[in-house]
Chain A
């Protein structure tokens, strides 16, 4: 089974580039150039040096001793939360801004849900002195005020998406509309492994540094590059794809993707796409999509703004359909409990997105000799108010 994108831009039955004609030249330009640019030595050198000196990579692979003891297995945390700006998102924005510069683009647009990708984009635009516009759902702007202020402080213009449900899906629509209206001078930095080909592959490659480092670090700590399991949360799926990437063709490494069940998969307030969705087309690719029986996209729900997206990246849809990855879902409540547990056992406050992955340890037993790597995709500073307001049992 092949898990990489094929020459038609597909992962199995999923992917493609379902875009209005106006974006065709942009997508063609990217498709023709992204691999050459990413593989050129000057790009590699600049990318690697920024990841090291600016982002702070490699991020530690930390053996979580008390967690391991509690769950009677070997838990390693890949500390993406220690990256500059607080999550894995910046791996991608650094890559794409360097690419945009080489494509001669003068302006950057991005969409953001919780604001993490928006902040990561505003950050690299400040670094490179490029004009930056971030679209954000009007409701999300109210929910994530501090991130709106951070983006503004970094010099970005934050534009409220007032259409539809006024959340991430609509912010993505607005960013695409902006791109349609400004196709020649603007690059759209998509924040996850979603969108038309080649975006899912491009973002996956930028995030693949996560599993590249994991291999080296595991070899050093355990004597083998391979863990038994890699666990990561999935909204669009960029941190999971980065953590899975170098293990996709090693079937002995089992992959667990964790979706947000919200208030419960069957409550109507959920974001568990693979449980609730079916194949469809949104934002330029064919993937698994939460939708009504007549094909209207459904607004998902999760306590975590980073996971409430109605689709998943097409590569994940393929991992699901082929059975290569196991998809689990975790409710708001279980995620919040798992997040608090990590605070108190390891002294790490995780992003609520990452807390969903942590909750797997309550659902699933791992053997005492097994090695489980969990991608701790972000830190919980942005979620402080949610943790404070939450009524724990």
Chain B
């Protein structure tokens, strides 16, 4: 596998910041605008969420952004047409993240083909079981040079982590705790011990920590134990309250990275 995502990891191995936002939120036609501002402000990876009516792994913030995006009229065909000029505007790796059903209805083959066509580098489908991935999805992902990202949790056994590592070819999404998205609060010593346990396994894939990463403190802490971290809900909240999208995205990302913000 050789794409923008895998290339990124060959030259940058720490303090990687991945930012998630839901396509179609807050307004229908801001996908490229948000992606561009996010990349320019210094995000290393962008995850664009494909909204779904029943996002069971998500907390309130992302649920509401999904619902609003659907109410705004977002759907996959439209998303791909919005992303047609993605690669003229954004250079950083882009992943699509979402639930399986809309992908199934769109058609796996067509979905992967469109994703590759617009310059998407990888996919995160949290309800795609490993068994299905191996049997059906993997050859199609690989044919279109799309990286696959699996998640792991504090409850994932060592044996299964090894298997996840073998089947992943982008990064491993390390869930910081057993929770839905959007939990806040400081990272506990127990969580740090878990991050270290995983770090010691010397996995072949880079690790990005997600769920509960919301600010400079949690981002910095996560980066001490992994290659970087992923922020979703906290960024969505910023978008929801934003009056000046470009400026607020810039401030949010620079603050998370601990850079000086010029007002």
Contact = CB atoms under 8 A, between A and B. Distances in A.
| Interface-central residue, B56, B59, B126, B180, by most chain A CB under 10 Å | B56
Contacts of A291: 101, 105
A20 B102 contact: no
A22 B178 contact: yes
A82 B57 CA distance: 39
B217 interface: no
Interface string A275-311: 0001111111000010101111100000000000000
Interface string B87-110: 000000000000111111110000
Interface stretch (A44-52, A73-81, A173-181, A247-255): A173-181
A355 B150 CA distance: 46
Contacts of B178: 22, 180-184
A8 B135 CA distance: 12
Contacts of A289: 101
B70 interface: yes
B152 A21 contact: yes
A295 B20 CA distance: 21
A282 to B, nearest CB: 6
A297 B101 contact: yes
Contacts of A163: 60, 63, 67
Given A181-B180, A291-B101, A21 B56 contact: no
Interface in B128-167: 128-129, 131-132, 150-153, 155-157, 160
Contacts of A103: none
Interface string A54-98: 000000000000000000000000000000000000000000000
B77 interface: yes
B102 A21 contact: no
Interface string B64-89: 00010010000111000000000000
B54 A169 contact: yes
A101 interface: no
B179 interface: yes
A173 B131 CA distance: 23
B56 A16 contact: no
B105 A20 contact: no
B54 A297 contact: yes
A268 interface: no
Interface string B152-190: 110111001000000000000001001110000000000
Nearest to B60: A163
Contacts of B75: 294
Interface residues of B, number: 40
Given A21-B156, A180-B180, A296-B52, A280 B127 contact: no
Contacts of B129: 16-19
Contact of A177 (B56, B104, B106): B56
A220 B63 CA distance: 55
B30 interface: no
B53 interface: yes
A27 to B, nearest CB: 10
Contacts of B153: 21-22, 24
A278 to B, nearest CB: 8
| Interface-central residue, B63, B104, B127, by most chain A CB under 10 Å | B127
Contacts of A25: 155-157
Nearest to B157: A25
B127 A180 contact: no
Interface string A249-282: 0000000000000000000000000000011111
Contacts of A368: none
B135 to A, nearest CB: 9
Contacts of A184: 155, 178
| Interface-central residue, B53, B103, B151, B180, by most chain A CB under 10 Å | B53
A146 interface: no
Nearest to A9: B131
A178 to B, nearest CB: 9
Given A21-B175, A295-B106, A183 B155 contact: yes
A180 B56 contact: yes
B105 A21 contact: no
A294 B175 contact: no
Given A19-B129, A163-B63, A180-B180, A296 B102 contact: yes
A164 interface: yes
A16 B132 contact: yes
Nearest to A180: B180
20 contacts: A18-B100, A18-B127, A19-B129, A21-B151, A22-B153, A22-B178, A24-B156, A24-B160, A25-B155, A177-B56, A177-B180, A180-B180, A279-B104, A280-B105, A281-B100, A281-B127, A282-B101, A283-B56, A291-B105, A294-B75
By Cβ-Cβ distance, the 8 closest A-B pairs, closest first, are A295-B105, A295-B102, A294-B75, A296-B53, A20-B57, A21-B151, A295-B101, A176-B56
Interface of B: 52-57, 59-60, 63, 67, 70, 75-77, 99-106, 126-129, 131-132, 150-153, 155-157, 160, 175, 178-180
Interface of A: 8, 16-22, 24-25, 163-164, 169-170, 173, 176-177, 180-184, 278-284, 289, 291, 293-297
Given A18-B132, A163-B60, A169-B54, 11 more contacts: A16-B132, A20-B56, A21-B156, A25-B157, A173-B54, A177-B59, A180-B57, A180-B180, A280-B104, A294-B102, A295-B76
